[in-house]
């Protein structure tokens, strides 16, 4: 049977098996940890029309065992002017002739150091192509030449000529051979690349003058065939069968594995021959990077003798080829010059990728709108239909403000939303805040350990503000937690930290305190939650709450929470909490009702002139109220800095408590969170400005702190800011400069309380 | 403020909408269907209360809880129990209401902590010949029939989105992903299908 027929038959057999996947046009480009292989499938680049399908697919393959049969790459011989068009590897000539039926030249010569080159001559003759000479570097022991082909034993090519392409070769003995194509074979290098991807080092085999895989292979990998130095057909087939059988056994898939196909070993004798010393013409080693034999010698003269230095000094083996054809010859020349053996000289090892991988394949579909998933709030559609401008906060799209006809810019919208909320009532989708359902007999104790303040006495039906610290004592996150039942709490986190806090709490319960009966599950996406804020908030909600539930201040005071129904029986949760400083509630319904509830709240609020408000108005109102947010909880600030020391319970421990009391964090001159107003009320403040005392030079040494958040307060009619300044709490009324070198300006500001709006809290308790 | 008295019919009512809009669509050989009327309740097993919880689950559903990474149907085949962790089981059941946790809690008493998860997740049932080929492009776990048995369940991530995947039939899977990003997830699965062939 012809080899090609056998191969076709084997492929057909494999294709018919339902536990075998054949991946053609695919290259494994890396062997990564834990048996993971990267593969690039070239999908449509070869088609005239891709049909809208991807060009390539990057596959990640998890393998318990892998058998690497990567074959070998032919290596060239360096000789004078070997970069002329028409000079190519003998294997390439064979592929043109045998696979594509194309003659790469009319008169072809072969220059070889081994028997394999002779195969090329034979194949050319079999197809009727003239072979003008076989030039073999070996002096004797040569195979039999095809009839009529002249053989030059011990011959060496020293130069080539031809203006646009090869026309003739000049030999060391002065003879000229006519040829428009020269097939060169310097032997074969096993493709050991993937065996090196986890620092495996190839070892030298003198008998084939090549590096083969060392013993230190990536876990689960075996190598067979030419890649393992078995350069002939029968040997390769035999080793493939043996190693595959062994793997099948290891995987416990025993059973008969048949016999290896019988084949003959082709002639493969050869003698190491790397470059032609005679002639003095430029002899290229790395055709892609223009590195010649002379360059390697120059590197040696300049003492770049380690292979790593040689590579970087000459650029040998860089770029797409990655040394596949050039490395060994250069190494051999370096060894020759320095009087060492090749293994003594060493080799570079290979890293992924084996072949170039397009960045587009790495990115895949993650581009443009598909760069990452979007999370939409339950009222997203309502917001889109009602003028919302959206902002990305993490993966969420949130309404930033709701533009109304006639408004000239965002400030008009935001000012109106703030004014209407403070005057009557506003509604904001706050679903994005993290919600963590906490249940268990030890839930209160758990909260006591993760929050700085005390939790053991919070009654059912009440909500409390909580502050968390990092292990190092820096403020981490804050929010409110409601006690819904005897052993049932609902924690809220900031939007940004929702996932991080959840993960941290899971770590705490599983690893720090596995003896506590505490269970956590996220319900962030399950409940659509809306802040309803403003003097008319209660009147609006009273229209929706089902009787007999009573939301009067006496029955449902500030920081109360309850399960109830609204709109004729829809399950809901109500919380009397306020971020805006107004009389406010947060109402939650199962997310499926969220879009509808937004519309219902607006309809019910029509008589009060209710407005929807977005994250900008939310931010303005929280600055007016002096609540810290992400800009203040920025990973640098402590409870002391934030003015939240009252929330750090003195009589119990919690995560971060001990380290929060390091002397350096407790300094008297620590920065404190305070408010700032411009002395000239027409000036606008800017976040990021640093505070410098009057009369002091604006430099790092005189830095007193920084402005963290600013807003134009429509309530006060001027710009206001929150910021941190040394001993701020003792400096009320003092004027300092807010210096902004980045913007090249400064503004005089007066230090005030951070609570610009209703500091006594009468409104939110009303 | 006094509560409204004698009002039986609310002035306002809310309408529900499922995260995938009740999709029921066939593309090529693959059918996408949202199981919108399905409730999900998470059961957390109290520390030290495993035996009591398992007894209660057996009594309530007529089956023993599956091992971690497996799911099973209740004896009457109306509910599926999915064991996601040592102390966590999800129960899915056809239930159009919005208070399934109370329903399950009533069956189990205090043997487990129940949390309603119905609106947290979008449920996408996907089935048909090319299902595996589409999913394997974005799903990092091995979905080969020999590697992911019938009723097997796993937590994984596809296109940056956390997903619970359950094999419900030969070529059918139920995929749970967060309801807020459900449409991004659906699009990711559809793109994977479109890119085949």
- Encode pLDDT of A224-267 as tens digits: 999 999 999 999 999 999 999 999 999 987 667 788 888 888 88
Q: Which CATH class is domain B24-194?
A: alpha beta
CA-CA distances (angstroms) from residue B70 to A113, B65, B80, B85, B120? 62, 9, 10, 10, 21
CA-CA distances (angstroms) from residue B4 to A541, A545, A721, B177? 12, 9, 44, 40
Residues 584-603, chain A, touching B (beta carbon < 8 A): 589-593, 595-597, 600, 603
Q: What is the mean pLDDT of residues A368-378?
A: 91
Return d(Cα A748, Cα A739) in angstroms, integer.
9
Residues of chain A found within 8 Å of residue B119, distances taken between Cβ atoms: 525-527, 590-592
3-class secondary-structure state, position A728: helix
Could you report how far apart the first and last alpha carbons of chain B are, in Å? Answer: 66
CB atoms within 10 A of CB A497: 21
CA torsion angle for A245, A251, A256, A258 (degrees, to 10)? -30
Contacts (Cβ under 8 Å, ≥6 apart) of A379: A399, A429, A431, A528, A530, A594, A595, A597, A598
Residues 44-63, chain A, touching B (beta carbon < 8 A): 52-54, 57, 60, 62
Residues of chain A found within 8 Å of residue B7, distances taken between Cβ atoms: 547
* Nearest by Cα to A746 from A708, A691, A699, A703: A691
In this structure, of A447-456, A480-489, B3-12, the range with the lowest mean pLDDT score is B3-12
How confident is the model over A453-498, as pLDDT tens digits?
999 999 999 999 999 999 999 999 999 999 999 999 999 999 999 9
CA-CA distances (angstroms) from residue A388 to A23, A304, A385, A428, B7? 48, 65, 8, 12, 35
Sign of the CA dihedral with B144 first, then B150, B156, and B158 last: positive
Residue A704 near residue A726 (C-beta atoms within 8 A): yes
Among candidates A375, A488, A525 on the partner chain, residue whose Cβ is nearest the Cβ of B119 = A525
Q: CB of A551 within 8 Å of any CB in chain B?
A: yes
Residues of chain A found within 8 Å of residue B116, distances taken between Cβ atoms: 523, 526, 590
Among candidates A57, A373, A441 on the partner chain, residue whose Cβ is nearest the Cβ of B185 = A373
Q: Is the pLDDT of residue A163 over 60?
A: yes
Among candidates B1, B42, B137 on the partner chain, residue whose Cβ is nearest the Cβ of A521 = B42
pLDDT category at B3 given cuts 50, 70, 90 is: very low
Q: What is the CA radius of gyration of chain A?
A: 39
> Is beta strand A561-566 parallel, antiparallel or unpaired with respect to A570-575?
antiparallel
Return d(Cα A214, Cα A204) in angstroms, integer.
9
Q: Which two tokens stand for residue A388?
A: 């919302």
For chain B, give every domain's residue range. Answer: 24-194
3-class secondary-structure state, position A528: strand
> Is beta strand A690-693 parallel, antiparallel or unpaired with respect to A584-590?
unpaired
How confident is the model over B151-179, as pLDDT tens digits?
999 999 999 999 999 999 999 999 999 99
Nearest CA in chain A to B192: A365
Q: CB of A560 within 8 Å of any CB in chain B?
A: no
Q: CB of A550 within 8 Å of any CB in chain B?
A: yes
What are residue B143's phi and psi, to 5 degrees? Answer: -100, 10
CA torsion angle for A407, A412, A417, A420 (degrees, to 10)? -90
- Which stretch of DSSP H or E encloses residue B177? strand B172-178
Return d(Cα B180, Cα A432) in angstroms, integer.
10
Q: Which two tokens stand for residue A119?
A: 């195969």
Residues 14-73, chain B, touching A (beta carbon < 8 A): 14-19, 42, 44, 46-48
Return d(Cα A686, Cα A749) in angstroms, integer.
11
Residues of chain B found within 8 Å of residue A544, distances taken between Cβ atoms: 10, 12
DSSP A552: S
Return d(Cα A654, Cα A423) in angstroms, integer.
41
Q: Is the pLDDT of residue B2 over 50?
A: no
* Nearest by Cα to A601 from A589, A592, A618: A589
Residue A721 near residue A740 (C-beta atoms within 8 A): no
Q: Which two tokens stand for residue A712?
A: 């134009």
CA-CA distances (angstroms) from residue A444 to A199, A240, A453, A477? 51, 64, 12, 18
How confident is the model over A530-576, as pLDDT tens digits?
999 999 999 999 999 999 999 999 999 999 999 999 999 999 999 99
Query: What are A563-570's contacts with CB under 8 Å, separation 24+?
Result: A563/A484, A566/B10, A566/B14, A567/A597, A567/A600, A567/B10, A567/B12, A567/B13, A567/B14, A568/B9, A568/B10, A568/B12, A568/B13, A569/B10, A570/B13, A570/B14, A570/B98
Q: CB of B11 within 8 Å of any CB in chain A?
A: yes
Q: Do B16 and A377 touch (CB under 8 A)?
A: no
DSSP B65: P
Give the distance from residue A7's alpha carbon to the nearest chain B alpha carbon, in angstroms.
Answer: 25
Q: Is the pLDDT of residue B1 over 80?
A: no
Question: Given this model, what pLDDT does residue A347 score?
Answer: 81
DSSP B102: H
Cis peptide before B51 (omega within 30 of 0): no
Question: Given this model, what pLDDT does residue B180 score?
Answer: 98
| Angle A311-A314-A318 from CA coordinates, rounded to 5° | 55
Return d(Cα A565, Cα B27) in angstroms, integer.
41
Q: CB of A565 within 8 Å of any CB in chain B?
A: no
Q: Is the pLDDT of residue A171 over 90?
A: yes
Return d(Cα A486, Cα B34) in angstroms, integer.
36
Contacts (Cβ under 8 Å, ≥6 apart) of A182: A86, A87, A88, A108, A109, A110, A111, A157, A160, A166, A169
Among A149-163, A341-355, A358-372, top mean pLDDT goes to A149-163
Contacts (Cβ under 8 Å, ≥6 apart) of B186: B20, B23, B32, B122, B124
Domains of chain A, first to last: 3-63 (no CATH), 74-188+269-338 (3.50.50.60), 372-654 (3.30.1360.120), 655-765 (2.40.30.110)
pLDDT category at A412 given cuts 50, 70, 90 is: very high
Residues of chain A found within 8 Å of residue B161, distances taken between Cβ atoms: 373
Q: Which two tokens stand for residue A399?
A: 């309404």
Question: Given this model, what pLDDT does residue A212 score?
Answer: 96
Residues of chain A found within 8 Å of residue B155, distances taken between Cβ atoms: none
Nearest CA in chain B to A53: B195
Q: CB of B1 within 8 Å of any CB in chain A?
A: yes
Q: How far out from the chain centre does Cα A115 lie?
A: 49
Question: Given this model, what pLDDT does residue B98 score?
Answer: 67
Among candidates B12, B99, B160 on the partner chain, residue whose Cβ is nearest the Cβ of A544 = B12
| Neighbouring C-alpha atoms within 13 Å toward the C-beta of B97 | 10
Q: What is the mean pLDDT of chain B?
A: 92
CB-count exposure of residue B130 (10 Å: 0-12, 13-18, 19+): middle
Contacts (Cβ under 8 Å, ≥6 apart) of A109: A131, A132, A133, A134, A135, A169, A177, A179, A181, A182, A183
Q: How many helices (H) and strands (E) does chain A have?
A: 19, 39
Q: Is the pLDDT of residue B121 over 90?
A: yes
Residues of chain A found within 8 Å of residue B177, distances taken between Cβ atoms: none
Residues 85-104, chain B, touching A (beta carbon < 8 A): 87-88, 98-99
Residue A195 near residue A115 (C-beta atoms within 8 A): no
What are residue A86's phi and psi, to 5 degrees? Answer: 110, -15
Residues 8-27, chain A, touching B (beta carbon < 8 A): 19
CB atoms within 10 A of CB A339: 7
Q: CB of A558 within 8 Å of any CB in chain B?
A: no
Q: Mutation test of the interface with chain A: which of B115, B117, B162, choosing the one with the most A Cβ atoms within 10 A?
A: B115
Return d(Cα A330, Cα B180) in angstroms, integer.
59
Among candidates A439, A547, A567 on the partner chain, residue whose Cβ is nearest the Cβ of B3 = A547
Q: Do A547 and B18 touch (CB under 8 A)?
A: no
Q: Mutation test of the interface with chain B: which of A519, A539, A610, choosing the one with the most B Cβ atoms within 10 A?
A: A519
Among candidates B87, B161, B180 on the partner chain, residue whose Cβ is nearest the Cβ of A519 = B87
What are residue A507's phi and psi, to 5 degrees? Answer: -60, -45
Among candidates B99, B116, B160 on the partner chain, residue whose Cβ is nearest the Cβ of A526 = B116
Residues of chain B found within 8 Å of residue A521, distances taken between Cβ atoms: 42, 44, 88, 115, 117
Q: What is the mean pLDDT of chain A?
A: 95
Return d(Cα A31, Cα A70) in angstroms, integer.
13
Give the distance from residue A366's alpha carbon to the nearest chain B alpha carbon, in angstroms.
Answer: 9
Q: What is the mean pLDDT of residues A20-25?
A: 94
How high is the ipTM of this complex?
0.94
CA torsion angle for A469, A472, A473, A478 (degrees, to 10)? -20
Q: What is the mean pLDDT of residues A362-386?
A: 93
Q: Is the pLDDT of residue B5 over 80?
A: no
Q: CB of A384 within 8 Å of any CB in chain B?
A: no
Residues of chain A found within 8 Å of residue B1, distances taken between Cβ atoms: 538-539, 542, 550-552
Q: Do A374 and B2 touch (CB under 8 A)?
A: no
CB-count exposure of residue A217 (10 Å: 0-12, 13-18, 19+): buried
pLDDT category at B96 given cuts 50, 70, 90 is: low
Q: Is the pLDDT of residue B8 over 60?
A: no
């Amino acid at each position: 049977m012809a080899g090609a027929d056998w191969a076709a038959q084997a492929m057909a057999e494999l294709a018919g098996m339902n536990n075998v996947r054949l991946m053609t046009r695919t290259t494994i480009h890396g062997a990564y940890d834990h048996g993971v292989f990267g593969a690039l499938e070239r999908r449509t680049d070869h088609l005239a029309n891709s049909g809208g399908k991807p060009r390539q697919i990057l596959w990640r393959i998890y393998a318990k065992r892998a058998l690497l049969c990567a074959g070998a790459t032919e290596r060239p011989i360096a000789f004078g002017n070997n970069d002329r068009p028409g000079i190519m590897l003998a294997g390439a000539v064979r592929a043109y002739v045998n696979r594509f039926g194309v003659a790469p030249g009319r008169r072809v010569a072969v220059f070889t150091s081994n028997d394999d080159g002779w195969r090329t001559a034979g194949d050319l003759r079999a197809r009727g192509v003239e072979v003008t000479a076989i030039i073999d570097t070996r002096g004797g022991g040569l195979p039999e030449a095809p009839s009529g082909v002249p053989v030059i034993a011990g011959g060496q090519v020293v130069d080539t000529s031809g203006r646009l392409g090869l026309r003739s070769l000049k030999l060391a003995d002065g003879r000229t051979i006519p040829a428009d194509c020269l097939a060169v074979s310097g032997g074969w290098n096993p493709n050991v690349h993937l065996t090196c991807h986890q620092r495996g080092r190839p070892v030298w085999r003198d008998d084939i003058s090549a590096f083969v895989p060392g013993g230190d292979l990536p876990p689960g990998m075996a190598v067979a065939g030419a890649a393992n130095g078995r350069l002939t057909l029968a040997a390769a087939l035999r080793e493939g069968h043996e190693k595959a059988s062994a793997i099948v056994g290891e995987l416990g898939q025993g059973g008969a594995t048949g016999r290896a196909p019988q084949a003959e070993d082709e002639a493969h004798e050869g003698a190491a021959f790397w470059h032609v010393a005679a002639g003095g013409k430029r002899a290229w080693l790395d055709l892609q990077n223009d590195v010649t034999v002379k360059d390697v010698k120059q590197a040696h003269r300049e003492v770049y003798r380690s292979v790593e230095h040689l590579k970087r000094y000459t650029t040998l083996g860089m770029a797409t080829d990655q040394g596949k054809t050039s490395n060994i010859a250069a190494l051999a020349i370096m060894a020759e010059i320095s009087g060492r053996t090749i293994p003594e000289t060493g080799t570079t090892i290979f890293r992924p990728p084996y072949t170039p991988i397009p960045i587009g394949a790495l990115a895949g579909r993650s581009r443009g709108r598909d760069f990452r998933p979007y999370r939409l709030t339950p009222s997203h559609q309502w917001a889109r239909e009602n003028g919302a401008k959206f902002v990305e906060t993490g993966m969420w799209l949130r309404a930033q403000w709701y533009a109304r006809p006639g408004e000239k810019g965002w400030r008009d919208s935001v000012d109106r939303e703030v004014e209407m909320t403070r005057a009557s009532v506003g509604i904001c989708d706050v679903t994005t805040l993290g919600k963590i359902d906490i249940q268990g007999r030890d839930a209160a104790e758990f909260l006591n350990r993760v929050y700085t303040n005390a939790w053991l006495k919070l009654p059912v039906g009440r909500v409390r503000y909580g502050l968390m610290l990092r292990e190092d004592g820096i403020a981490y996150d804050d929010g409110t937690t409601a006690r819904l039942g005897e052993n049932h709490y609902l924690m809220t986190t900031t939007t940004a930290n929702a996932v991080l806090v959840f993960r941290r709490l899971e770590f705490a319960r599983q690893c720090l305190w596995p003896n506590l009966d505490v269970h956590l599950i996220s319900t962030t996406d399950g409940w659509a939650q809306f802040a309803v804020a403003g003097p008319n908030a209660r009147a609006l909600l009273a229209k929706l709450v089902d009787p007999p539930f009573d939301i009067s201040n006496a029955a449902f005071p500030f920081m109360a929470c309850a399960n109830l129904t609204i709109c004729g029986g829809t399950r809901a949760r109500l919380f009397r909490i306020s971020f805006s400083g107004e009389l406010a509630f947060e109402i939650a319904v199962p997310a499926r009702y969220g879009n509808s509830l937004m519309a219902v709240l607006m309809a019910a609020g029509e008589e009060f002139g209710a407005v929807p408000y977005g994250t900008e108005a939310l931010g303005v109102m929280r600055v007016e109220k002096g609540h810290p947010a992400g800009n203040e909880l920025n990973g640098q600030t402590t409870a002391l800095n934030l003015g939240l020391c009252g929330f750090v319970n003195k009589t119990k421990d919690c995560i971060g408590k001990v380290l929060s009391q390091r002397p350096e964090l407790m300094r008297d001159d620590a920065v404190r969170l305070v408010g700032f107003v411009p002395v000239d009320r027409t000036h606008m403040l800017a976040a990021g400005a640093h505070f410098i005392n009057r009369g002091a030079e604006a430099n790092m040494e005189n830095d007193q702190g920084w402005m963290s958040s600013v807003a134009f307060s429509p309530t006060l009619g001027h710009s206001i800011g929150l910021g941190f300044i040394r001993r701020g709490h003792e400096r009320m009324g003092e004027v300092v400069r807010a210096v902004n070198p980045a913007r090249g300006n400064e503004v005089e500001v007066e230090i005030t309380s951070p609570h610009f709006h209703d500091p006594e809290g009468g409104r939110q308790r009303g | 403020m006094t509560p409204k008295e004698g009002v039986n019919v609310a002035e306002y009512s809310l309408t529900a909408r499922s995260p995938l809009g009740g999709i029921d669509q066939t593309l090529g050989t693959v059918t996408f269907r949202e199981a919108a009327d399905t409730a999900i309740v998470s059961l957390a097993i109290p520390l030290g209360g495993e035996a009591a919880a398992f007894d209660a689950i057996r009594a309530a559903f007529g089956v023993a809880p599956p091992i971690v990474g497996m799911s099973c149907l209740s004896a009457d085949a109306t509910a599926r129990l999915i064991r996601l962790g040592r102390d966590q089981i999800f129960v899915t059941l056809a239930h159009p209401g919005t208070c399934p946790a109370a329903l399950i809690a009533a069956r189990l008493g205090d043997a487990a902590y129940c949390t309603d998860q119905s609106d947290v997740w979008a449920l996408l049932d996907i089935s048909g010949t090319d299902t595996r080929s589409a999913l394997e492009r974005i799903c990092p776990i091995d979905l080969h029939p020999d590697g992911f048995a019938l009723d097997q369940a796993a937590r994984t991530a596809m296109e940056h989105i956390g997903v619970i995947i359950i094999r419900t039939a030969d070529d059918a899977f139920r995929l749970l992903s967060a309801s807020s990003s459900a449409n991004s997830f659906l699009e990711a699965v559809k793109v994977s299908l479109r890119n085949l062939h």
